[in-house]
Chain A
């Protein structure tokens, strides 16, 4: 499944609809701020039950997020043993050179700027999905879960 971390409801809608439009429609869990994203991934708060927070095989992460900023979320993911192997694709409106640099420095796997046109956006999601979920190989995760 895919974890989508996106505070813009319209963009989130496009992403989810674009995935549904293509044959391989993976389950998508959508959160709207950085703190909830970390709760989900670190299995705290509402998400302490692992059954409620299955590990995603791909994370789509916006940068400008309420509560905890996207770059901070990225940093936390890539510094956490159980999470660092999950591909993180920054999906943002920002083309600021500094954002791209910092994302690379914090080991984002990829950085993609959201297209303005709807058709281009759906093409992007199609290509993004088939690349990361189709071709890319993720490492297996050693989970320490008491079940």
Chain B
């Protein structure tokens, strides 16, 4: 964890929630960089390196993706499906971070190979505790495969 430049991609359309996530990661000093996008289409632009993100330097591969489900333009489950079907992206851990505890959402997320599914707590303190634990676990303990990047 220490000394590694770790990148997190946060896909979240709720600005307040995004702020809590970013602040928590800053205060726990877990991730060096949090990239934040607010809809499913920009998330895919970032990950697939299209449009404004076609320069790989503007879109470094994240070490973990936090993905909300109800997103504008492209829904979270479709983003998840795209990630897990993509040769270069499918090994990146995707943690669904959502207000939904609907059984259908949970089941579908796992069917599409989400690594984990977490429901956002309503309580602010609990939310920050979650972010701390989530950060330490996915960026600290979990091992991601090394990806050979072809950057020209």
Q: How many A-B residue pairs have CB under 8 A?
A: 68
Q: Is the CB of A131 within 8 A of B91?
A: no
Q: Is the CB of B91 within 8 A of A104?
A: yes
Q: Is the CB of B116 within 8 A of A101?
A: no
| Cβ–Cβ < 8 Å partners of B116 in chain A | 87, 109-110, 136
Q: DSSP majority for the A interface? A: mixed
Question: Is A12 in contact with chain B by the CB < 8 A criterion?
Answer: no
Closest residue on chain A to residue B100 by CB atoms? A137
Question: Is A124 in contact with chain B by the CB < 8 A criterion?
Answer: yes
Question: Is B85 in contact with chain A by the CB < 8 A criterion?
Answer: no
Q: DSSP majority for the B interface? A: mixed
Interface positions, chain A 55-95, Cβ under 8 Å from B, are: 84-85, 87, 95
| Cβ–Cβ < 8 Å partners of A128 in chain B | 137, 141
Pick from B113, B119, B140, B143: contact of A100, CB under 8 Å: B143
User: What 0/1 pattern do residues 95 to 112 of A give for CB contact below 8 A with B?
Assistant: 101001100110101111
> How far is it, in angstroms, between the C-alpha of A100 and the C-alpha of B145 when the chains are bound?
6
Question: Is A139 in contact with chain B by the CB < 8 A criterion?
Answer: yes
| Cβ–Cβ < 8 Å partners of B93 in chain A | 110
Interface residues of B (CB under 8 A from A): 90-91, 93, 101, 103, 106-107, 110, 113, 115-119, 130, 133-134, 136-137, 140-146
